[in-house]
Amino acid sequence: MRENGRLANALGTALGLGYVPYIPGTFASLVTAGAVALLHRASDSATLQLGAALVLLLPVSIWASARVARREAKSDPSHVVIDEVVGQIFCLLWVPFSWTFLVMGFVAFRVFDILKPYPIKKVERLRGGMGIVCDDLIAGLYAGLLLRIVYAFVSPS
């Protein structure tokens, strides 16, 4: 594997999280949710930092996913989990941090990512890294909107 291939593989598998033998996407989402929690505990500007990370990770995730998929001749290799990282971060940007919303966001994101309601399944058919990543972004959007709706009902006015 050439150097670019190693870099794409490291990024696409979220530094190896994708090699967990069972449910690598769920595991990557769980680790991401934990990292989000740690960042919120450590920084007053965690939401801004997560937003910046998302902006940086989007093109990287599309490139790495496409590269690994092309090399392995698979449309969406199961060990490519950077898309779950991006989708989970996007989901958790919609509400202020709390442990309740962290758990709800993790579960909601996984449900939308697995069930793939319209148009997620359609977007998944896009070629290369766009299809691999964008379906998770929409799952993150759906989960984030759900969190926002719940937040609107439970937040003090």
* Distances from the Cα of 109 to the Cα of 6, 33, 86, 87, 89, angstroms: 29, 11, 11, 8, 10
pLDDT-derived band at 3 (thresholds 50, 70, 90) equals: low
> Looking at residue 157, what is its pLDDT?
63
Mean pLDDT of 124-150: 95
Residue 1 has pLDDT above 60, yes or no: no
> Looking at residue 50, what is its pLDDT?
96
Lowest mean pLDDT among 24-33, 50-59, 131-140, 148-157: 148-157
Question: Higher-confidence residue: 127 or 143?
Answer: 143
Mean pLDDT of 92-120: 96
Residue 98 has pLDDT above 70, yes or no: yes
Question: Could you tell me if 79 and 27 are in contact, meaning their C-beta atoms sit under 8 angstroms apart?
Answer: no
Residue 20 has pLDDT above 90, yes or no: yes
| 30-70 pLDDT tens trace | 999 999 999 999 999 999 999 999 999 999 999 999 999 99
- Which residues are CB-neighbours of 6 under 8 A, at least 6 positions away? none
pLDDT-derived band at 125 (thresholds 50, 70, 90) equals: confident
Question: Higher-confidence residue: 2 or 72?
Answer: 72
Distance CA 127, CA 150 (A): 34
